Structures are given as structure tokens and as C-alpha cells.
Structure 1
Amino acid sequence: MADNTKHRRIAAMAACEQILSGDRPRTMRDRLADLEAGGDLDGQPDAYGDGPVTALEERVAGLLGTEAAVFFPTGTMAQQVALRYGADRSGRHTVAMHPLTHLEVHERHAYAQLSGLCSTWPTTEPRNPTAEEITALAEPVSAVVIELPLRDAGFVLPTWDELVAVSEAARGIGARVHFDGARIWESVPHLGHGLAEIAGLADSIYVSFYKTIGGISGAALAGTAEFVAYARVWRHRYGGMLYQQWPAALSALAGIDRELPRVPDYVRHAQPVAAALAGLPGARVYPEPPHTQRFRLWLPHPAEALDAAALALAEQEKVWFAAGWRETEVPGVAMTEITVSGPALDLTATDVTEIGERFLRHVEERESAPTSG
């Protein structure tokens, strides 16, 4: 049943004339076109990380202003290697991170299960830690992890000055600074500094190639040449040295060329979109205004009714609002994440309000419909 609903959503979204949240679904044939855009398909594929993979690594190191970068098949693997490096170099097996970081919430605590590390939380507030909280840590740590943006707190970012202060505080207690920059691409406008300046505040940084820029898969770690050499060894030990990865590398290069220049437009447009959605009956958005191209939206209706209404609006009126609603701690109030991407750039604030009103009419129809039995 879940798979059927998923396929219905994808088919309905692909046929929509207007899309408020997310990108139009792309077929495998669509993605094959990315490979040609990412490089010369008449060239030789990589063998254990040379060729197009090397080209991608050099491109990323150039964008981030680091000495080197290394490709990883997954971000989860990359993050484990980054934390292991800090522990090996310092002899400290505790890492400071927020309880809402990707490492804690979405990676099955791999840092503990695979590397024997443990975490300490500088804060439980829904934001990145402050310099004062880092300085006040009760035990020595090998690294301080900062997720930019902190997705599970609502895609929130610190200010530039706060980020500089946290970086300095971490070094002041003898810890490395590691940025979980899976979505660093969309953090640049809010921070007001370029990718290289942001990465320059960290000792290492992880970036994703499928988040934001739309690659097939893959990630990279960037930092000093010594760090990257270490990462290559451990990538092999973790099973990440695949024979050929040219499809992922070429699609990442295409995404850097195609999507990265458009990201500032998405971030700017997220602000009027969020403001319009906040005007819907009972709606709340956070943060307001958004820090990136993504933000959270709450509506006073059950998640099931909201998901059903999104599908009905798409199938009946060729308009996509947003799905993936989930219940909250407040009964009858559900939340979803809104992503402002290419299709939404054509929508004015008036368009957004009208789409929201049409969506809510479908919600009301479902809530007022008689139940069977």
C-alpha cells in the first residue's frame, strides 16, 4: 500500500503544471542526460577513483579552498572517517555534537558502533551550539561537529560571527572543527560568505552531491592533504573504494554546473513563499524568514488528511503542494518540510496563497467526508 501511494505521488507530481515544494521527478533517462553534461562519455571510466572521480575531487577542493578532497560513496561513511581521524590524532574518544545532528538521528549511531566513539551534547536547544557552550564542555573532546544547516531543528544556521566564534572556541579547547556540510551549498547566502571562507573555519568538511545539487549519490571529505590521505586509507577499509563510480561523479559535476549557480535564487525566493504560506489559516512556518531554501510548515490538520489532500490536488488539478506530513506533539497539528527549488521560482506570493487555499479545500473535503462503518 505504501509503495502504491509513493508511485501515485511520483506520477502525479511529474504531471503537475505547478510545483510549490520540491523538484519535478526525473526518470533514469533524464539522469542519463546528466552524465553527458558532466563530462566526456567517450573518455575512459574511472578505475578505483581516477579519471572523472579525480576531476570531481579537484573541483570540490577548488570550490572549498582546501588542499584536497576525496570522494565517498555515502556521507555516513565519510563522517565516520572524519571523526575517527580526530580521535586517532588526539587520543580522545568523545565528540561534541548536537543531539539533532544527522550523526545522531539518521546514521544509526555509526560513530559509536563502528569506531567506539561517544558523544557529548553542548546544548539541546533547537540551534547550533554557541562558543560559550563549547568552552563550557565538561570533558575533553576530539572534535566539535557543526551541521550547516541543522536540518532537524528546521534547517537553521548560526550567523557568520557566531560560526567564527564557535570555531575559535573549539580550537581553544584543543578540538578539531568538523562541518557536516551536506547542504552547505544553500547555506552561503545566510552566512554572507563564500564556500571557501566558510570551509576555512573548519579542519574538515563533508559535502553531499545528491542533496541540493541533485547528483545521483555520493559525498566528499575535504581538508588538508594529510587528512585526505588518511581518509583514503579508511575509505578502503570501510569498503568504499568501489571499482567504478563514474556515473555518480559525472552527475555530481553536472549538478555543480547546473544547480549550484541557481541555489541563491532558491534561497531568496523561499522568503516570499514562506511568508505567503504563513498567511494560511492556522499555519506556522519556521524559521521565519527561512535561512536556506528549506523550512518547516505546520498546519492544524491530521497528517493523513494533509497527505491525501496533496495527492488529490495533484491528480485532479495538476498542482503540487507538499507531502510527507507527520504528526507533532500537538494533537491535530502536522508538520512537513518545504523545499523551494526550480519549479517554485515561477510562483508569485499570490500564486502560493491561491495554491494553499486550493489545497486546504481538499483537506476540508476529506475531514468532512463521512467515515465508513
Structure 2
Amino acid sequence: MMNIVILGAGQAAASLAAKLRASGHEAAITLIGEEPEPPYQRPPLSKAYLMGEMGLDRLTLRGADWWDENRITLRLGERATAIDRDRKTVATDKGEYPYDALALTLGASPRRLPAAIGGALPGVHVVRNLADIAGLKPVLTPGRRLVVIGGGYIGLEAAAVARKLGLEVTLVEAAPRILGRVAAPETADLIRALHRAHGVEIAEGTGIARITGDGAADGVELADGRLLPADLVICGIGIAPETALAEAAGLAIENGIAADGRGRTSDPAIWAAGDCASFPCPDGRMRLESVGNAIDMAEAVAANMLGAERDYAPKPWFWSDQFDAKLQIAGLNTGYDRVVMRPGAAEHAGSVWYYRAGRLVAVDALNEPRAYMIGKRLIEAGKSPAPEAVAEAADLKTLM
């Protein structure tokens, strides 16, 4: 009987464990996580949970009874320190665990600014886990001045929540525009207008010289010499896959822990899934940072650990809630060469359709759930209506 250890305790870990049991695996499953809490959802942390609209009971993915009923051993509050591939054991700061098969669902960690420019000062926050929110929640009070560093989805969501809570918010993006790496200018224009309509100041095309403060952050000095006073700073400059343990164990690393199409790492007894793992795609290797990928890849890996031998075929989808707007994204816009913009029926609404070599590859839909749904179905079916048809269609349903 195969003894399985899962290292990491997030969405991918919970999904992998559940799929193993649902697929008939009867032997031991041990899930080891560094945080003291059982697996929980991360997306609501920076939104509903931070706003006080969701409690920890709703954040948790499974109740305590479920883990017991499914005979899954939780080892929480334990930090893994080493993987011994020869002995097939995982060492933690509290013990050692043998495995027949090991799954790495280690997730990712927020990137931080260097300590040399003030990144480690008290009052500088990141938003990734419950401990981060516990430190941030008490200081997000009306009238305080917040500077958000980073104009990606993490920074924009944090800015929206803080503004709703009554803070004065300035968001700084070093690149020429917000969402520069992940979305077309048309999507960025919609999101920028949304934030400015709600009173967020946005400074683009200027980097950070340093975070100022003697003992605690009190401002952000920009590369152009401007000084933004701040009572607190949120750093939202992306996440990096957790690869240190895998690298120390000698596993192949390439844009995360390198796995094959079925989720195996360079050691056939070790598998990887979720934010920490990359897998082959037609253009090289891909790593997706999303709840959808964490669930789907983990379930595919669980099936393959039990002998399914099927390659993982991602169906990328993402979302971002900002103010009262929902941005829904289907597909991957990598390498797009043409964009079609459809105005929405209301203010701060619209959809952006991405094409690569004449093929529809992605859709961004802000407050346009119908456009998202139809775009997603078209992409999954491999159908590509002509860009002109998308632009001119009175009813998107005719594109089906």
C-alpha cells in the first residue's frame, strides 16, 4: 500500500488529498503545512475576509470532521527542512515522515523589496496568508494614508479594499502602465478608470527609490524625487514559486519545480502541483498562479499518482474583484498580436478579446459575465470567430 505525503497545505494540497480518497486510495495520506491553520482559500483574504465580510469558518476549505472521516493526517505548524530522496523521508522542525510517493504543493511566497531600501521596516506589509492579514487589518483605518507598490492584480485589489475602508490610497507602478505584464492596454484603461473614479491616485512609469522612516515606514520616495507620505505601505509586486526545498533535494527547477506533463518531477517518486510547479506546453514551460490551476492540476496529479497516466491539459481561468466590479479572464493571452475591444452596457464595463495568428486565445471581461461565458466556451471548443464578427456582433451568442 502506497504511503503518500503531501508537503504544503493550500488549495492544491486539499484538492489532491480529496481526489486521492475519492479515487479509492486507501493507504495513509499525511499533509504537512507550515501554517497552524488547516487548508483555506487565499483569494478572499485580500477582499471579503479583509473587509470583515467573511469569517475564518467560511474561509476554511474543509471542516475538521472531514479530515478525520477521510483518514487524512494533518501535521500543521510544521516547517519542512529537507527531503531525503535516497531514504524517501521528509524532515520537519518537529519530526521525520517516510513516504512511498511525495507530492509538493508548496505554493508561492510574496516578493519583497530589499531591506536596503526599507522593505523590512515595520509598517510595510504583504498580502498572502492569514498572518499577513492579521497584521494588516488593525491598521487599515479611515483617513490613514496608504501607498501600494505594484500595479498588478495583488496591488490593485489591496488598493480597492483600502479605499472602500476609507483610507487615502496612492498606487505606484514602475512600468509604463498598470497590468503591463498580464493584460492589454484596453483592459488596463478600464481598470485605471475604475480606480480613479473611486478616488485612488495612480502613478505609473516611476520606480521606488526607497521607503522612508526611522523605526517605521512613514513615506515612499519615488525614483523621480517625489515623496509620498504614508502611514503604511503594501508591497504587491508579485509572488515567487517555493522551490528551495526541491532545489536543495536536487530536483530540476525551471520556472518553478519542473514537472512532466503528468506532474512527475525529475524524481519519479516525487510529484508537484499548483503555484510551485511548471509543466510543458507548446511554447516551452508554463506555470499558472490561480485557484483553477491549483485544483485542476492537483486532481490530475492525484489520478496519475494512482496510475492514470494522463497528461494535464489546463483550462485557464482567473478572476479579480475590485470595488463593485468583477474582472473575469478566460484563456492565456501570451503572444497575442491583435485585440478587439467591445464596450460594455454600463460604466466601467467591457470585454477585450485576444487573438494570436488569427486564433482566439483569451478574453478579459469587466462586469460582462455573458462575454466571459461565451468567450470561455469558444476557447475551450477551439472556435475562433473573426475579430470583425466579435466587434460587430449585436448578440455575442451568435458567435457560438
TM-score above 0.5, yes or no: no
Whichever structure has more strand as a proportion of its residues is 2
Which has the larger share of helix? 1
